[in-house]
Structure 1
Amino acid sequence: MTIPHITPTRDDALATLLDKAINNKTKPLGSLGVLETVAKQIGLIQKTAQVELAQPAILVFAADHGVVAEGISAYPQSVTWQMVENFLAKGAAINVFARQNDCALYIVDAGVNHEFGPRDGLLSRKIGPGTRNFAAEPAMTAEQCGAAIDAGMALVAELDGDVIGFGEMGIGNTTAAAALMHKLTGIPVAECVGAGTGLTADGILHKQHVIEAAVARHAGATEPLDVLATFGGFEIAMIAGAMLQAAERRMVLLIDGFIVTSALLVAARLQPAILDYCIFSHCSDESGHQRLLDNLHARPLLRLDLRLGEGTGSALALPLLHAAVNFLREMATFESAQVSEKSA
């Protein structure tokens, strides 16, 4: 496993050119708000003022988690593979939203505790039948964690296009994400843990206690890759690898909810410049996501109280990226439209 080196997007000359192009459009200065920020960011990522978003894609990574043995989920582990079947049948929310936005959708078996066999539409990159229970032992070996990162990198290396979104499916993965968040940010576990798939207040407290005990058990895991192997999931590690490869290729990374953001947290601890390539689709209703976004100094595009996962927030935010690109490409300037500019 070789972690890609991510180059910062900073380019003062190009930034000045983009500011001029944006400000010369037929509108008051700054009147398109965050869309102007997004357009400039995409220009810096693509190293041009002639921005475009071709062949958008969302990768949904699915895997199971051994920590479900601790009773930390309102749903049984079997829901993971059942939802993968739903994805393949094109019946899930992410299928609907990707379809309506003309976005390619790829479903990846990163480590589901189920044998699907060869299936149309399913990319099998299974590292194992789910991770081990991190309440008792590390979730992954270092070798498994590295293999998952490599698999995510290889998947993105095969894709064309300018923008890639990330989604996930895995019963128990909010517990893994909360543990990663705590270990890599130092934010108290109680502020990282939420309801996940719908836990009661007692269930949330139990999940908190499980994580706190596991953190005490694995106190020696402090480096990002060690933390990922100890507390993460195959899908989280694979997403981190996919993100690193996408940023190296100067793609726009469209970040979904809590679990995907926890994968980004790992990637950012390895290569901080990856954040230059990230557009944050939304702030989810999962407790802890706002704190995690704050830690990354991230501004989400949407607040829709989502907590579904699957990459749904990324799909819903995609039209805003198209709007940002299209106004920069197609909107008239004051000169071309013969519109008077603001008086000095």
Structure 2
Amino acid sequence: MTTATLSGAFASAADFTAALGALTDPDPAAIAAARARQGQLTKPPGSLGRLEDLAVFLAGWQGTEKPSLQRGRTAIFAGNHGVTVHGVSAFPAEVTVQMVANFAAGGAAINQLAKAAGLELQVVPLDLDTPTADFTQGPAMSEAECLAAINAGAATVDPGLQLLTVGEMGIGNTTSAAALAAISFGGNAADWVGAGTGVDDAGLVRKRAVVEQALTLHAPAAGSAFDKLARVGGREIAAIAGAVLRARQLRIPVLLDGFITCAAIAPLAVEAPGITAHCLAGHCSAEQGHGRMLGHLGLEPLLRLDMRLGEGSGAAVAAHILRSALAAHNGMATFAEAGVADG
């Protein structure tokens, strides 16, 4: 596990917005070559289903006929939320700090799942002693705070990576994610608010009321993707947005985790729908709004395992599927190599 240093990948909110308007594309020659290879392998065309598409997807973003996954990273961002004063979580805010310590000690689920998937693990705590502001009263973050969080996310994206998976830790962040989803894609609080860490019925009512307050206050004035992140996001959520956009600049494919990581790119997708082209959805979680979110993003999940932990756990498990896709794509013989008639 490593620790990130702050980078100035985006100099200002305007620079972040400009980057959203100048998205890179995958390599068409590599895509064509990978598709051609799939057609030559010793199997009926299309018989490996989506595994074939995943290999071609990775080829396009890595710019090579035979992509690889020698170096992948799981980046986990942690932040605290001022909105927890309203009792929107089943756990107190200090659990965020305690879980970051657990990550450092190697005792969390993501430690084991990242290791099993052969992924580096990087944990980035973001000003845990300073929660974001209560967004029922005003913006969660100032422009400077939001930009710092975005750049902390961007700093985790090493140009040498072949895959980035993202995850989060932050008590109260399903409330923030629900507000961000609603302010981006529309709907009311009931459409997006779920149980999160496991709040009871009374807690669910409080969460919905808090999100409705946020929408009443911020939706009429919310403008750019950056503005939406600053108004109702969290530091860890803004960091995920920064990491995803920086990965796009460097043509590094991204494997998203659950509801919160998808909510982080929701405002980006509204402003620049093409942002999802280098992204895969690792899984569809049990959180209420995740399936709806994936529909808005146009992403089909690789797995449906009823997971709802966060921490990047679902994305880490899904990375095994990418490894399987690459093993078949790169390791299988062609009809000519095997001396098998191709019909």
TM-score (norm 2): 0.91
**Contact between 2:159 and 2:250, CA under 8 Å: does it hold in 1?**
no
Q: Does 1:90 align with 2:106?
A: yes
- Deviation digits for residues 167-212 of structure 1 (CA, Å, limit 9, x no counterpart): 1000000000000000101133211110000012332222111111
Query: How far, CA to CA, are the matches of 1:187 and 1:335 in structure 2?
Result: 55
Q: Does 1:241 align with 2:242?
A: yes
Query: How far, CA to CA, are the matches of 2:204 and 2:27 in structure 1?
Result: 42
Q: Does 1:36 align with 2:37?
A: no
**Contact between 2:27 and 2:63, CA under 8 Å: does it hold in 1?**
no
What amino acid is aligned across from residue 91 of structure 2 in structure 1? Y
CA shift for structure 1 position 10: 6.6
Partner in structure 2 of residue 196 of structure 1: 196
Q: Does 1:6 align with 2:27?
A: no
CA RMSD of aligned residues (A): 1.5
Partner in structure 2 of residue 259 of structure 1: 260
**Contact between 1:111 and 1:235, CA under 8 Å: does it hold in 2?**
no
CA shift for structure 1 position 47: 1.9
CA shift for structure 1 position 34: 1.1
Gaps of 5+ in 1: 114-128
Q: Does 1:311 align with 2:312?
A: yes
**Contact between 1:253 and 1:279, CA under 8 Å: does it hold in 2?**
yes
**Contact between 1:56 and 1:161, CA under 8 Å: does it hold in 2?**
yes
**Contact between 1:241 and 1:267, CA under 8 Å: does it hold in 2?**
no
CA shift for structure 1 position 318: 1.0
Query: How far, CA to CA, are the matches of 1:42 and 1:336 in structure 2?
Result: 24
Gaps of 5+ in 2: 1-11
What amino acid is aligned across from residue 191 of structure 1 in structure 2? D
Pick which of 64-73 and 45-54 moved more: 45-54
Query: How far, CA to CA, are the matches of 1:223 and 1:208 in structure 2?
Result: 24
What amino acid is aligned across from residue 104 of structure 1 in structure 2? E
**Contact between 1:26 and 1:333, CA under 8 Å: does it hold in 2?**
yes
SS at 2:176's partner residue? helix
CA shift for structure 1 position 270: 4.5
What amino acid is aligned across from residue 46 of structure 2 in structure 1? G
Partner in structure 1 of residue 300 of structure 2: 299
CA shift for structure 1 position 73: 0.6
SS at 1:147's partner residue? helix
SS at 2:255's partner residue? strand
**Contact between 2:31 and 2:65, CA under 8 Å: does it hold in 1?**
no
What amino acid is aligned across from residue 75 of structure 2 in structure 1? L
**Contact between 2:188 and 2:212, CA under 8 Å: does it hold in 1?**
no
CA shift for structure 1 position 159: 5.6
CA shift for structure 1 position 16: 3.4
Query: How far, CA to CA, are the matches of 2:178 and 2:277 in structure 1?
Result: 24
- Deviation digits for residues 138-186 of structure 1 (CA, Å, limit 9, x no counterpart): 1001121112112222232x46321111010000000000000001011
Query: How far, CA to CA, are the matches of 2:185 and 2:26 in structure 1?
Result: 24
CA shift for structure 1 position 304: 0.5
Query: How far, CA to CA, are the matches of 2:156 and 2:271 in structure 1?
Result: 20
Partner in structure 2 of residue 330 of structure 1: 331
Query: How far, CA to CA, are the matches of 1:326 and 1:134 in structure 2?
Result: 47
- Deviation digits for residues 102-122 of structure 1 (CA, Å, limit 9, x no counterpart): 211011011312xxxxxxxxx
**Contact between 1:8 and 1:273, CA under 8 Å: does it hold in 2?**
no
Within 5 Å, give how 1:106-145 maps onto structure 2: 106-113=122-129, 129-145=130-146
Query: How far, CA to CA, are the matches of 1:316 and 1:102 in structure 2?
Result: 10
Query: How far, CA to CA, are the matches of 1:16 and 1:141 in structure 2?
Result: 45
Query: How far, CA to CA, are the matches of 2:171 and 2:339 in structure 1?
Result: 58
Q: How many residues align?
A: 325
CA shift for structure 1 position 28: 1.4
Query: How far, CA to CA, are the matches of 1:111 and 1:273 in structure 2?
Result: 31
CA shift for structure 1 position 222: 3.3
